[in-house]
Amino acid sequence: MSESLSQHASNSAFGTAKSGTATSRTSGVARPHVAVVGAGVMGLSIAWRLAAAGCTVDIFEQGRSGLGASHAAAGMLAACAEAEPGEEGLLALNRESQRLWPSFAADLEAAAGMAVDLRTDGTIVLALNADDGAKLRHLISFQQGLGLPVEWLNGAEVRRREPHLATKLAGAVWCPEDHQVDNRKVSAALRIAALNAGARLHEDCPVERVETVDGRARGVIAKGERFGADVVVLAAGAWSRGIAIAPATPLPVRPVKGQMLALAMDPAAPILSHVVWAPGTYLVPRRDGRLIVGATVEERGFNTDLTAGGQLALLTHAWRALPTIEELTILEQWVGFRPGSRDDAPILGLSAEVEGLVFATGHHRNGILLLPVTARAISRLILDGEADPVIAPFAAERFLPRAAAE
Ligand code: GLY
């Protein structure tokens, strides 16, 4: 084992690395050479943090960076609005990441020299009729029982905040800490930040497999070429299962299709200023006047069809909540793929089967929300071997047959 890799092994979680790859030094500390599979927001943010700390980083992307779920998302940071019974285990992770967003956005804007439009207007979850109201009353008591900052608004209070909403409202849940960010700007900024920090981005370069030798990751095979590395990070979102990693068990990650669309508001007189959830849809107003309307949830694999039924459902639900949308122009319609795991929670941290392999995938509906905590936890794990307790429940190990039998 070389001296530098021995030193790296002593201060990281990756054991006794031995490879022909370059290991760099920062202030006397050996830094591993890292291959990141996937240039969405997860892969780019981890690459940025690692490259800034002195690692040699290669990022591999099957197409162009940031054009998967990172591009398709709505950018909601909805730890409270989306907290539902059965997902209590995710709450600590979601709330921690929500707390990190303002400083993460400020660091990213400084590193990239561009704004990412973190808006702190809060979120309204609407009830249009008595039935919706009863469901929301049930939900708010669950959320308040978990200590979340949510409060009930009557119809008049809702319309005072958002005068263009439907005249007949049964009330709403107000989530003052659920904000939004422009995910497309975040992707663009992360690309700049990662490249500025020295990461190398290989686009149109699909990874076929992670190379493993004696149970340890040694790099990746992409476009038939071998790229050596000490550590491999799998951050390929909905495509994560397609990367072969013998002898590791394939990750239980599937694409969960979502159709969306964007309408054009007048940026000088927007008809909405908060994120609004209404039955069957959510509406996210951007500073530039775009109004994002989302999203269907479809188990249809990587089917990319925009369907009349899907678009009609979104527009109908949106129109019931905000009737004046019928005056707006449609700017864009698209499909994205959420990376859904078997329990819909992310897969984070070290592989139990392959040394030097790290997962940062399966974020499902919460990818943008979970970005800062994922970038922090995964980069610290690689740099210092520090295992953040907040990601401990989300190890891939929970899906191994042994864990399931226990
Ligand atoms: N978090 C919003 C969505 O998945 O559609």
Whether ligand 1 lies within 6 angstroms of the CB of 364 is answered as no
pLDDT tens, residue by residue, 109-156: 999 999 999 999 999 999 999 999 999 999 999 999 999 999 999 999
Task: Find out whether 23 and 4 touch, Cβ atoms under 8 Å.
Answer: yes
What number does the ligand 1 atom closest to the CA of 365 have? 4
Token readout for 397 is: 């190990």
Separation of alpha carbons 106 and 124, rounded Å: 25
Across residues 375-403, what is the average pLDDT? Answer: 93
Task: Give the pLDDT confidence score for residue 19 in this predicted structure.
Answer: 40
Task: Find out whether 372 and 276 touch, Cβ atoms under 8 Å.
Answer: no
Count Cα atoms within 13 angstroms, Cβ side, for 16.
2
pLDDT tens, residue by residue, 26-58: 666 789 999 999 999 999 999 999 999 999 999
What number does the ligand 1 atom closest to the CA of 82 have? 1
* Domains of the chain, residue spans: 5-70+185-252+343-405, 120-177+254-340
Nearest protein Cα to ligand 1, atom 1: 365
Best residue among 183, 338, 344, 370 to mutate for probing ligand 1's pocket (most ligand atoms within 8 Å of CB) is: 338
User: Residue 187 CB: number of other CB atoms within 10 A?
Assistant: 23
Q: Rounded to the nearest whole angstrom, what is the distance from the C-alpha of residue 198 to the centroid of ligand 1?
A: 32
Whether ligand 1 lies within 6 angstroms of the CB of 76 is answered as yes
b/e 57-70 (16+ beta carbons within 10 angstroms → b): bbbbbbeebbbbbb
What number does the ligand 1 atom closest to the CA of 258 have? 5
Task: Give the pLDDT confidence score for residue 26 in this predicted structure.
Answer: 63
Task: Give the pLDDT confidence score for residue 405 in this predicted structure.
Answer: 56
Best residue among 41, 70, 76, 341 to mutate for probing ligand 1's pocket (most ligand atoms within 8 Å of CB) is: 76
Across residues 276-282, what is the average pLDDT? Answer: 98
Q: Give the pTM.
A: 0.93
Whether ligand 1 lies within 6 angstroms of the CB of 290 is answered as no
Token readout for 103 is: 């400083």
Nearest protein Cα to ligand 1, atom 4: 365
91: Cβ–Cβ under 8 A, 6 or more apart, which residues? 79, 83, 146, 148
| Residues in the chain, overall count | 406
Q: What sections of 166-298 are H helices per DSSP?
A: 183-196
User: Residue 223 CB: number of other CB atoms within 10 A?
Assistant: 13
pLDDT tens, residue by residue, 328-349: 999 999 999 999 999 999 999 9
Q: Which residue has the higher pLDDT, 89 or 395?
A: 395
Confidence category of residue 20, pLDDT binned at 50, 70, 90: very low
Confidence category of residue 249, pLDDT binned at 50, 70, 90: confident
CATH level 2 (architecture), domain 120-177+254-340: 2-Layer Sandwich (3.30)
Task: Give the pLDDT confidence score for residue 201 in this predicted structure.
Answer: 98
Nearest alpha carbon to residue 90 among 379, 403, 343: 343
Task: Give the pLDDT confidence score for residue 4 in this predicted structure.
Answer: 31
* Bridge partner residues of 37 (DSSP): 60, 234
b/e 135-167 (16+ beta carbons within 10 angstroms → b): ebeebbeebeeeebebebbebeebbebbeebbe
pLDDT tens, residue by residue, 169-217: 999 999 999 999 999 999 999 999 999 999 999 999 999 999 999 999 9
DSSP string, 116-183: ---B---EEEEE-SHHHHHHHHHHHHHHHHTT---EEE-HHHHHHH-TTS-S---EEEEETT-EE--H
What number does the ligand 1 atom closest to the CA of 366 have? 1
The residue whose two tokens read 């004696």 is: 214
Separation of alpha carbons 400 and 355, rounded Å: 16
Task: Give the pLDDT confidence score for residue 253 in this predicted structure.
Answer: 97
Q: Rounded to the nearest whole angstrom, what is the distance from the C-alpha of residue 74 to the centroid of ligand 1?
A: 7
Whether ligand 1 lies within 6 angstroms of the CB of 258 is answered as yes
Nearest protein Cα to ligand 1, atom 3: 365
Q: Rounded to the nearest whole angstrom, what is the distance from the C-alpha of residue 365 to the centroid of ligand 1?
A: 4
Task: Give the pLDDT confidence score for residue 120 in this predicted structure.
Answer: 97
Q: Does domain 5-70+185-252+343-405 have CATH number 3.40.640.10?
A: no
- Measured over the CA atoms of residue 330, residue 336, residue 340 and residue 345, the dihedral's sign is negative
Separation of alpha carbons 388 and 382, rounded Å: 11
Across residues 68-73, what is the average pLDDT? Answer: 97
Q: Rounded to the nearest whole angstrom, what is the distance from the C-alpha of residue 275 to the centroid of ligand 1?
A: 13
Whether ligand 1 lies within 6 angstroms of the CB of 294 is answered as yes
